């Protein structure tokens, strides 16, 4: 039996969940926060024009785009896209239109370039 479930995420069920602050114009709903050496699983909601600065993955990251389009230096990922970023890879992320993604990180990322005000 799963420890926790979030039903109907791919059909918009995430719209009823509570999101809290993560980064400027990006909010988070934790499904399973990091605990010890266990991975973190969350939903991230990007407002149109939001971004996360360049960062390095200290562990595997997997993303499923539930709505909108998420982008990085390698391309644009629309609804239904599944993105895998290996440990040691670096990129920045943004969404011109806004998006919601289901994300799992093996380890927290290391921010390399902070946003300038």
- Cα separations in angstroms, 85 against 12, 20, 40, 49, 52: 25, 24, 15, 22, 15
- Domain span at residue 44 reads 20-99
Whether residue 117 lies inside any domain: the answer is no
Q: Looking at residue 51, which CATH number applies to its domain?
A: 2.60.120.10
Whether residue 115 lies inside any domain: the answer is no
CB burial class (10 A; 0-12, 13-18, 19+) of residue 90? middle
Question: Tens digit of pLDDT for each residue in 2-14?
Answer: 566 777 888 888 9
pLDDT at 1: 41
Whether residue 111 lies inside any domain: the answer is no
Number of compact structural domains in the chain:
1
Closest to 31 (Cα-Cα) out of 40, 18, 20: 40
Question: Tens digit of pLDDT for each residue in 80-115?
Answer: 999 999 999 999 999 999 999 999 999 989 999 765
pLDDT at 115: 54
Whether residue 105 lies inside any domain: the answer is no
pLDDT at 10: 84
pLDDT at 113: 76
With contact defined as beta carbons under 8 Å apart, do 108 and 40 qualify?
Answer: yes
Spatial CB neighbours of 5, under 8 Å, sequence gap ≥ 6 = none
Question: Tens digit of pLDDT for each residue in 22-51?
Answer: 999 999 999 999 998 899 999 999 999 999
Question: Tens digit of pLDDT for each residue in 49-82?
Answer: 999 999 999 999 999 999 999 999 999 999 999 9
pLDDT at 104: 96
Residue 67 half-sphere exposure toward CB, CA atoms < 13 A: 17
Three-state DSSP class for residue 101: strand
């Amino acid at each position: 039996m799963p420890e926790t479930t979030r039903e109907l995420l791919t059909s918009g069920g995430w719209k009823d969940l509570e999101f809290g602050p993560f980064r400027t114009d990006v909010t988070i709903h934790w499904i399973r926060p990091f605990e010890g050496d266990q991975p973190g699983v969350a939903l991230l909601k990007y407002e149109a024009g939001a971004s996360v600065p360049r960062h390095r993955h200290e562990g595997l990251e997997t993303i499923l785009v539930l709505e909108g389009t998420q982008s990085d230096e390698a391309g644009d990922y629309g609804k239904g896209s599944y993105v895998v970023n290996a440990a040691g890879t670096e990129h920045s992320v943004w969404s011109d239109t806004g998006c919601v993604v289901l994300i799992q990180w093996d380890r927290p990322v290391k921010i390399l370039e902070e946003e300038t005000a």
